A and B are shown apart, each in its own frame.
Chain A
Amino acid sequence: MIERLGLVTTQLPTTGSSVMALLVVVLPLLLGVLGAACRPKRGWPAVLASLLALLPLLTLTPLVVSQGTQAWVLELDGLTLHWRANGLTLLLLLLTQLLVLASAAYAPAYLRVAVQAQGRGPAWLWPLMGLLAASLSLIWLAADLLTLYIGLELMGLSAVGLMLLPGREDALAAGMRYLLLALIGSLAFLLGLALLLGAWGRLDLAGLAEAVEAGPVLWVAMALLSAGLLLKAAAFPLHAWLAPVHGSAWTPVSALHAALVIKASFFIALQLWLVFAPQAAVAAWVVGGMGAAAVVWGGLLAWRADKLKDVVAWSTVSQLGYLLIGFPLLIGTAPAVASIAWDGVWLQLLAHSLAKAAMFLAVGNLMLATGESRVSGLAGASRRFPLALLSFGIAAISLVGLPPSAGFTAKWLLLHAALAAGQWPWLLVLAVGTLLSAAYVFRVFRYSFVEDVELEDYRPVPLRMDLIALILALASLLLGLAATWPLALLEIAGGGP
């Protein structure tokens, strides 16, 4: 599994690739500076900056494809930082940059329509968004625990900041709760790191993978690290903060948060488990059980939710459960099973990120257009806002897992892995989860196809906002048809023979 994570490599990096890797992390900050320097509600500079951030990535991709995993070592006054880029890193970087680009393109119109000159909030959006993108890139690239810690903290704080921007009472109260939980999560993470560093005296993942020995220190450290990360990832018993936070946040921020921030914590947790405890099958089953509970509980609450945004937020809890089911399929299983589950997990992550961002944007458009935040307020939406509803529907196809979407391919792979491993319970969970997600999606549709309502004061949103949601939704659908491309990238970069 270490090879798949790209932690062991003999490849010596070229200067060009090092510059590109640095640019990948630094350029999103430019987005922040430019966006803040210009008027916050005029977004073209920020969009250009996030397009610019794609360039080094596009030069880095052929390098990795042709030469395999790239690794960098940074020496800073006795400190060694390790970075690496393999196919998985590239996929996640690409996903991040694309979603940031989409949010950056969506945000100006949203700010103009939805946020009527409320203080200094809008001005802070761009720097925080840039910081978020940079810290996410850092997390995907990091191959040592110090870099991961820095990235995780930067990400957490900028995410809290973004959530607070609306400045209303409910946003502040939810944000305060999120801040306290995030801080507690980072304390647990740091305590785990302290134990690892104290016991083995190093922080690079590849070196630690060889050095660690099973024992009380490792178990306590892993328990602390996992607890901190799962809290930040809103995994099942630790998920209660998610819905209120999303309920009051701005739409593009919600989209970024559900699509990327939560995934980053999951990514770190899975990486640490694969590195430190690749054979801990029993503990992985516990995490899988949490995932199963999340799928069912999140689905049920999304089905019962009153507010549109709560439906989407609870659906995030549910969909994250599928990712957690990846733990027992990847850890302590035969290589053949693990390799199917590996593809399934990352494809599910990509599919869900695209679909969930699209769904948040579509729901945001619907809420703006109807002026209603409740599901029942959608009555009559089907005739007036077909485009937003279409985006919602296409994203829903991927979330429910209907062919030909990427969600379908991912769940198919997970199902296949569960069958091959003989882990029957997950089949049941996948089936129940699919039914529940169909139920909450169709509940939204049922209300929007109510025809005999005279909708008086509705205001259509700018076409640009609808188009961005539609493009993201289509991307999650088409990714299912073009799934060979990300899977091939995962293979190459998986460390290659």
Chain B
Amino acid sequence: MPPLDDVLLVTLPVLLAAFVLLDRHLVRACSLFVLFALAVALTWWKLGFLWLAMLETLLGAALTGGFLFHALGVGLAGRAPTARLAHARDPVPLIWRRGLVHLLPVLALLGMLAAALGSLPASDGSLAARWSGLVLIGLGLWAFALHTHLLRRLLAFNITGTGIFLLLMSLVGKTAPAAGQGLVITGLVVALLGTALGALLVRRLGALVPSREPASASDGQAS
């Protein structure tokens, strides 16, 4: 396998995840998330887990993406009338100092994980997946702690989950593939259901309390 493929497959999800989590424009972030899920599906396929690749495409990219867009009020037939209630931009800007403070507990957790993983040898093929899994977990948790917008937290949750799946399958590898896939498939379904529930909630909350949405009625989409 040419190393370029490998490097690309590891860096692509991580880069896309970083863009998803840092983009304040929510529709763009959700579109990027769909791309991210497709890139992860490609990684699964490359690692030889065909089932997971298919499920990731179906559950992760198509359905989760659909629910995220639904939360924003963006449908196939254009924007729903309630779309004005869901902000297209996260009104809270990123404050770097706050970001750094939130990074510390995440780094502590990653250090703990790395200490534990140190005693588990990795085969060559799975080392890359393990690293991208760890980075995704770190990125996702950091964003989850940092952002207050519900939709961005759902995105962060999904990315952390994906990181855990990658780490899990890289650890399990060939020893107990059935058990690992069972866990990942359950996890994928749970992530989808959780996102669906969260998206419906975002929508309902937006419809119930237009005035008390994070203060930004002036943010372009004023009602």
Contact = CB atoms under 8 A, between A and B. Distances in A.
Identify the interface centre among B113, B179, B204, B208: most chain A CB within 10 Å of its CB.
B179
A203 interface: yes
Contacts of B218: none
B44 to A, nearest CB: 16
Given A187-B164, A201-B176, A220-B112, 15 more contacts: A146-B186, A153-B186, A157-B194, A164-B201, A172-B205, A175-B201, A176-B198, A176-B205, A179-B197, A197-B183, A198-B171, A199-B120, A203-B176, A216-B119, A217-B119
Nearest to B171: A198
Contact of A169 (B113, B183, B208): B208
Contacts of A149: 183, 186
A179 B194 contact: yes
Nearest to B169: A194
B91 interface: no
Contacts of B167: 191, 194
B171 A190 contact: no
Given A190-B164, A201-B172, A160 B183 contact: no
Contacts of A187: 157, 160-161, 164
Contacts, number: 115
Interface string B138-150: 0000001000001
A173 interface: yes
Given A169-B205, A169-B208, A184 B115 contact: no
Interface string A248-284: 0000000000000000000000000000000000000
From A157, A198, A199, name the one whose CB has the most chain B CB atoms within 10 angstroms: A198
B196 to A, nearest CB: 10
A51 interface: no
Interface in A185-233: 186-187, 190-191, 193-195, 197-199, 201-203, 215-217, 219-221, 223
B120 A217 contact: yes
Given A79-B179, A197-B172, A197-B176, A173 B119 contact: no
A173 to B, nearest CB: 7
A169 B201 contact: no
A191 B144 CA distance: 16
A183 B186 contact: no
B183 to A, nearest CB: 6
A79 B116 contact: no
Interface in B95-133: 112-113, 115-120
B115 A220 contact: yes
B55 interface: no
A221 B113 CA distance: 9
Q: Is the interface of A mostly helix, strand, loop or mixed?
A: helix
B119 A215 contact: yes
B204 to A, nearest CB: 6
A317 B220 CA distance: 44
A157 B197 contact: yes
Interface string B76-107: 00000000000000000000000000000000
B130 to A, nearest CB: 10
B16 interface: no
17 contacts: A78-B177, A157-B194, A157-B197, A164-B201, A169-B208, A172-B208, A176-B202, A179-B201, A187-B160, A187-B161, A190-B187, A194-B167, A194-B168, A195-B117, A198-B171, A216-B115, A216-B116
B209 A169 contact: yes
A176 B201 contact: yes
Contacts of B116: 195, 216-217, 219-221
A219 B179 CA distance: 22
